[in-house]
Amino acid sequence: MKQISQKVGEQVVFQIIKYVAAAVYFAGLASLTPLIPLLLTPTELLQARQIVITAFGFVIVAFLLTLWASKNMKIAFRALGYMTLFPGLLTVITAYIGERRMLEYLSHFGEITPYIQEWIHQYVPTAWIIAGIYIILGVFFIWLGEKFGK
């Protein structure tokens, strides 16, 4: 009976750490997504460097948390792959909706400033590139997890 309660406790801890790692990982990916247009302009590159380093730090911490909790490279890479696929598919939906509908949707929350409007005009067309990168990385991490599993 004690072994069962110990295994249940380990599973509960694993699930909690998995959700914390997913939140940290999504924060890292969400921090990287709006930076793609900024990184294409050289004057903004110096200001964005700290945010990029922080975002990659979130991604690495999330992977290490998942690896530590699962104690298995296969599980860690597969979790990382699925966590990467989700924002990629969400980005596809956002890009499919388009600029006009995105602006209409955001206008329900209040007045849209010209800065946000300009950002949407720049970001939505590049969202397909970001979605492709996330989907390719997600599939790669799932494949890598399968390779570690054998």
For the segment 13-34, what is each residue's pLDDT rounded down to a tens digit?
888 888 888 888 888 877 776 6
Q: How far apart (Å, rounded) are the C-alpha atoms in residues 87 and 12?
A: 25
Structure tokens at 68: 């530590």
Q: Is 107 exposed, middle or buried (0-12, 13-18, 19+ CB in 10 A)?
A: exposed
Token pair belonging to 79: 């979790």
* pTM exceeds 0.85, yes or no: no
Q: What is the pLDDT of residues 45-75, one digit of tens each?
A: 556 667 778 888 888 888 888 888 888 888 8
